[in-house]
């Protein structure tokens, strides 16, 4: 049972435009969410987080939105840059469990 889903395996966006990466979850106990960026043959790099007490968190070009009723979160990258081309993972955790469930990732390609 996949508790965290990233239904789009890949996404292509023109440089300068907005990239929107989506993530859905099924477990209503999840209350903390992370987004990571991963280049090939490297470890994932933390990008941004959001707690369930918020519906939006912003850090520079990256904004994460959380819709608890829909059990959906999204990562917006504006403006997209070629260096943003990577695989993006969302991850979810429930308080006190100390572990995260990761989605299968979305490969973003930003075209110059």
Partner 1 sequence: SQTIHQWPATLVQPVGSPLSLECTVEGTSNPNLYWYRQAAGRGLQLLFYSVGIGQISSEVPQNLSASRPQDRQFILSSKKLLLSDSGFYLCAWSVLGGVQYFGPGTRLLVL
**Binding residues for partner 1 (CB under 8 A):** 6, 32, 34, 36, 41-46, 49, 89, 91, 93, 95-105
CB of 81: closest distance to partner 1 in angstroms?
Answer: 22
As a whole number of angstroms, the distance between CA 20 and CA 87 comes to: 13
As a whole number of angstroms, the distance between CA 34 and CA 49 comes to: 4
CB of 67: closest distance to partner 1 in angstroms?
Answer: 22
CB of 16: closest distance to partner 1 in angstroms?
Answer: 29
Cβ closest to partner 1, residue 41 vs residue 112: 41
Cβ closest to partner 1, residue 99 vs residue 112: 99
């Amino acid at each position: 049972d996949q508790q965290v889903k990233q239904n789009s395996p890949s996404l292509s966006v023109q440089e300068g435009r907005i990239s929107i990466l989506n993530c859905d979850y099924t477990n209503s106990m999840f209350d903390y969410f992370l987004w990571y960026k991963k280049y090939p043959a490297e470890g994932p790099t933390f990008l941004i987080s959001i707690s369930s007490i918020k519906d939006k968190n912003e850090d520079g070009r990256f904004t994460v939105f959380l819709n608890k009723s829909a059990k959906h979160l999204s990562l917006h990258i504006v403006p997209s840059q070629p260096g943003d081309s990577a695989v993006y993972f969302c991850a979810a955790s429930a308080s006190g469990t100390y572990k995260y469930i990761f989605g299968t990732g979305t490969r973003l390609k930003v075209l110059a």
